[in-house]
Amino acid sequence: MNGGEHTVNFKGHEIVEIVSDEWVIDITEFKVYKIRKTNDTLHYKLAFNIETNDIGAVVVCNKTTRVPLRVIKEALKIAEDTLKVMNGE
């Protein structure tokens, strides 16, 4: 599944699948999680945060686990697109 195809609201946060159902981005807080499903339980682990720097560029911060480059690129694209909409661009 391509990023942005499947969006879910969960406890006031907007969650978007990235690349596959193993990675999601919380576009409310710009946090990316790796998720794993076992039986009826969903486990998730913070993979990295996305923040903006002083000039407004989107950057990856605090990477806590190995993340495929494809996931990072897709998460950055989703974050940039979301920020453009929030800024009225």
For residue 36, give the amino acid letter: R
pTM, two decimal places: 0.80
Averaged over 25-54, what is the pLDDT?
89
pLDDT at position 71 is 93
Instruction: Work out the angle at residue 45's Cα, subtended by the Cα atoms of residues 44 and 47, and round it to the nearest 5 degrees.
Output: 130
What is the residue whose two structure tokens read 């499903």?
Answer: 37
Encode pLDDT of 50-75 as tens digits: 988 777 777 887 888 899 999 999 99
DSSP, collapsed to helix, strand or coil, labels residue 61 as strand
Asked if the model's pLDDT at residue 3 lies above 70, the reply is no
